[in-house]
Structure 1
Amino acid sequence: MYNNRIPDLNRRAFMKRAAAVAGLGAAAPMALNLASVGEAAAMDATDYKAIVCCFFYGGNDYGNTVIPYDLPNYDLYSAIRGGAAGRKRGGVALAHSELDGTALTTLTPQTLTNNIQYALAPELTGVASLFNSGKAAVQLNVGPLVVPLTLAQYNSGSKAYPLPPKLFSHNDQSSVWQSLGSEGSTVGWGGRMGDLALSSNGQSLMTCISASGNAVFVSGNNTLQYQISPDGAIAIWPTKGWVFGSGEASNLLKELITEPRTHVMENAFNAVTKRSINMETIVNAALDPITLTTSFDQTNYLAQQFQIVARLIAARNALGTRRQVFFVSMGGFDNHDGLMTDHPKLMAKFNSAVTSFYNATVELGVANKVTTFTASDFGRTLAYNGDGSDHGWGSHHFVIGGAVRGGQYYGTAPHISLETDDQVGQGRLLPSTSVDQMAATLGKWFGLSGSEITSVLPNIGHFATSNLGFMG
Structure 2
Amino acid sequence: MAFSSTRRDFLQQVGMASLVSLGVTPPRFLARAAENSASTSADGRVLVMIQLAGGNDGLNTLIPHGDDAYYRARPGIAIPKNQVLRINDRLGLHPRLNGLKELYDEGKLAIVQGVGYPTPDRSHFRSMDIWQSAQPQNDNPRDGWLGRGLEWQLDREPAKAEGLTLGTDKLPLAFVSGRISVPTLRRLEDFQLVDGKGPESLRKLKRETLDRMVDLSSQDSASGGELDFLRRATATAFRNADRLKSLSTKYQPAAEYPDTSLASRLKLIAQMIVAELPARMYFVSLDGFDTHAQQEGGHAALLGELGGAIRAFEQDLAGHGASQRVMLSTFSEFGRRVAENGSLGTDHGAASMLFTMIPGNAGISKNAGTPGKAGLFGTHPSLTNLDDGDLTYSTDFRSVYASLLRWLEIPAEP
Q: TM-score, normalised by structure 2?
A: 0.75
- What does residue 216 of structure 2 align with? none
Greater CA deviation, 278-287 or 406-415? 278-287
- Please, which of 46, 57, 63 is the counterpart of residue 59 of structure 2? 63
Matches within 5 A, 1:108-257: 117-143=90-116, 145=117, 149=118, 163=119, 167-181=121-135, 185-198=141-154, 200=157, 202=159, 207-213=162-168, 214-232=171-189, 234-235=191-192, 239-242=194-197, 247=202
- What does residue 9 of structure 1 align with? none
Q: CA deviation at 1:353?
A: 0.2
- Please, which of 288, 296, 300 is the counterpart of residue 257 of structure 2? 296
Unpaired runs of at least 5, structure 2: 10-16, 30-39, 214-225, 363-371
- What does residue 377 of structure 1 align with? 333
Greater CA deviation, 272-281 or 130-139? 272-281
Whether the 8 Å CA contact 1:381–1:390 is kept in 2: the answer is yes
- State the distance in 2 between where 1:20 and 1:385 align: 56
Whether the 8 Å CA contact 1:243–1:249 is kept in 2: the answer is no
Given the alignment of the two structures, is residue 414 of structure 1 paired with residue 387 of structure 2, yes or no?
Answer: no
- State the distance in 2 between where 1:272 and 1:437 align: 42
Given the alignment of the two structures, is residue 97 of structure 1 paired with residue 85 of structure 2, yes or no?
Answer: no
Whether the 8 Å CA contact 1:227–1:234 is kept in 2: the answer is no
- Please, which of 48, 53, 72 is the counterpart of residue 52 of structure 1? 48
- What does residue 80 of structure 1 align with? 73
Residues 380, 188 of structure 1: alpha-carbon distance in 2 compared, 3 angstrom cutoff: same
- State the distance in 2 between where 1:21 and 1:348 align: 47
Given the alignment of the two structures, is residue 398 of structure 1 paired with residue 361 of structure 2, yes or no?
Answer: no
Q: CA deviation at 1:292?
A: 1.6
- What does residue 387 of structure 2 align with? 424
Residues 346, 337 of structure 1: alpha-carbon distance in 2 compared, 3 angstrom cutoff: same
Q: How many residues align?
A: 363
Q: CA deviation at 1:208?
A: 0.3
Residues 29, 346 of structure 1: alpha-carbon distance in 2 compared, 3 angstrom cutoff: same
Letter of the 1:294 counterpart: A
**Aligned-residue identity in percent:** 23
Q: Deviations over 1:84-105 (max 9, x none)?
A: xxxxxxx111111111xx1115
- What does residue 305 of structure 1 align with? 265
- Please, which of 246, 263, 274 is the counterpart of residue 314 of structure 1? 274
Letter of the 1:424 counterpart: D
Secondary structure at the aligned position of 1:438 is classed as helix
Residues 46, 124 of structure 1: alpha-carbon distance in 2 compared, 3 angstrom cutoff: closer
Matches within 5 A, 1:251-266: none
- Please, which of 331, 338, 362 is the counterpart of residue 294 of structure 2? 338
- State the distance in 1 between where 2:26 and 2:133 align: 19
- State the distance in 2 between where 1:412 and 1:431 align: 9
Whether the 8 Å CA contact 1:52–1:371 is kept in 2: the answer is yes
Whether the 8 Å CA contact 2:383–2:391 is kept in 1: the answer is no
Q: CA deviation at 1:398?
A: 0.5
Letter of the 2:196 counterpart: G
Q: CA deviation at 1:232?
A: 4.7
Q: Deviations over 1:56-89 (max 9, x none)?
A: 111111110000122xx1x2101011x2xxxxxx
Q: CA deviation at 1:287?
A: 5.1
- State the distance in 1 between where 2:6 and 2:96 align: 43
Alignment RMSD: 3.8
Residues 345, 142 of structure 1: alpha-carbon distance in 2 compared, 3 angstrom cutoff: same
Letter of the 1:378 counterpart: F
- State the distance in 2 between where 1:277 and 1:172 align: 41
Secondary structure at the aligned position of 1:352 is classed as helix
- State the distance in 1 between where 2:395 and 2:408 align: 20
